[in-house]
């Protein structure tokens, strides 16, 4: 599969979740998919106190520029339901305006740090892909009905979103426009990993139902082959 076959993954704006069990492998594949985006990327990571990363984890390298990386505790990304409810109740609106007001209120429910980040994004040219690793650590802070509005607000007001999810997939994944599953033991054994597309793109290799080894996807191969050593068993 040539590199040109998966251009435009994030245009028009979309939301992508990549589910798997290996934190390090998920981060590397996410990086491989976003690094060539014309608008670049911003990478947020939900950290745990005392978190120890695997030696092969992308986040232990210098590949993500410091000005493109934000590390936050889970509590910093909780929704502001009160602020959104106040805004929704306080605005005078007609029936025609109801939907636009609802979307704005959903934006105001986003975490304050997320709102600030979105407000500072460039408005000219392609918008960056917003990555959030460790997002599974936010599960307790987001009810099932709040996942969809949160994702849609980030995409509408910010840009495409890509979430590596290092835990068993939940029903919340269905709120994302694109759903990928990565089966692999570790980053060092990435050549053996398989990618399955549960809900994909209308064009290119990542169509719904597609399944293949990572080394068959040229853009991912070129990144991982460059930065990850070949394991003895691969």
Where are the domains positioned within the chain?
3-79+127-227
% of the chain residues with pLDDT over 70: 84
Could you tell me if 76 and 49 are in contact, meaning their C-beta atoms sit under 8 angstroms apart?
no
Over 60: is that where the pLDDT of 84 sits?
Answer: no
Query: Tell me, what's the pLDDT at 3?
Result: 36
pLDDT (average), residues 173-179: 97
Per DSSP bridges, beta strands 211-213 and 194-199 are antiparallel
pLDDT band at 133 (very low <50, low <70, confident <90, very high): very high
Q: What is the mean pLDDT of the chain?
A: 86
Percent of residues, the chain, with pLDDT higher than 90: 62
Please say whether the structural domain 3-79+127-227 has been given the CATH code 2.60.40: no
Q: Of 16-20, 36-40, 111-115, which gets the smallest average pLDDT? A: 111-115
What's the rounded Cα separation, in Å, for the pair 167 and 224?
22
Would you state the structure tokens that stand for residue 31, as one six-digit string?
A: 């990086």
pLDDT for res 81 = 67
* Pairing state between β 178-183 and 161-165: unpaired
| Residue 152 pLDDT | 93
The mean pLDDT value for 90-105 works out to 58
């Amino acid at each position: 599969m040539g590199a040109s076959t998966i251009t435009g993954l994030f245009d028009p704006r979309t939301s992508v979740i990549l589910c798997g069990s290996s934190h390090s492998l998920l981060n590397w594949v996410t990086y491989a998919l976003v690094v060539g985006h014309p608008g670049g990327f911003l990478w947020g990571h939900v950290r745990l106190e005392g978190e120890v990363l695997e030696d092969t984890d992308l986040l232990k390298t210098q590949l993500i520029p410091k000005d493109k990386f934000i590390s936050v505790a889970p509590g910093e990304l909780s929704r502001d339901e009160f602020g959104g409810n106040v805004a929704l109740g306080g605005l005078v609106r007609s029936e025609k305006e109801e939907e636009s007001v609802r979307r704005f209120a959903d934006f105001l429910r986003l975490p304050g740090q997320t709102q600030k980040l979105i407000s500072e994004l460039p408005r000219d040219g392609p918008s960056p892909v917003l990555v959030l690793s460790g997002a599974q650590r936010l599960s307790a802070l987001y009810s099932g009905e709040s996942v969809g509005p949160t994702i849609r607000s980030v995409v509408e007001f910010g840009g495409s979103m890509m979430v590596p999810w290092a835990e068993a997939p939940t029903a919340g994944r269905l709120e994302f426009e694109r759903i990928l599953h990565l089966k692999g033991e570790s980053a060092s054994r990435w050549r053996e990993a398989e990618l399955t597309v549960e809900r994909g793109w209308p064009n290119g290799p990542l169509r719904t139902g597609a399944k293949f080894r990572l080394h068959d996807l040229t853009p991912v191969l070129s990144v991982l082959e460059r930065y990850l050593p070949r394991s003895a068993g691969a």
